[in-house]
Amino acid sequence: MPQTTDNMYAQVNEVLEKLRPFLLRDGGDVELVDVEDGIVKVRLMGACGSCPSSTITLKAGIERALLEEVPGVVELEQVF
């Protein structure tokens, strides 16, 4: 049975809350914008928004955690 978007949104938010302290420590943050068809859209804020390593943070950190912990997530996209 496929997950509802509301349920997936809540699970994604839970994972982001676990990762948030690491981002805040570096002067950044992440905002969940949308979850649609397994694609999670986030906005990086603060220092993360302009950090040259933000793509690595997104793909190697946040996306990997979401793929491992939230069934149905297929991709992470950054929105501006």
Report phi then psi at 30, rounded to 5: -135, 140
5-78: which CATH topology?
A: GMP Synthetase; Chain A, domain 3 (3.30.300)
Q: Residue 64's CB: how many other CB atoms inside 10 A?
A: 12
25, 26, 27 from 40: Cα distances, Å: 23, 22, 22
Question: Strand, coil or helix: what is 45?
Answer: strand
What is the value of pTM for the model shown?
0.87
Q: Sort strands 39-46 and 75-78 into parallel, antiparallel or unpaired.
A: parallel
Say what the pLDDT of residue 39 is: 96
Domain layout of the chain by residue ranges: 5-78
Q: Decide if pLDDT at 2 tops 70.
A: no
What would the pLDDT profile of 24-66 be if each residue is shown by its tens digit?
998 999 999 999 999 999 999 988 777 788 888 888 899 999 9
Residue 11's pLDDT band, with cuts at 50, 70 and 90, is very high
Report phi then psi at 78, rounded to 5: -95, 130
Say what the pLDDT of residue 1 is: 41
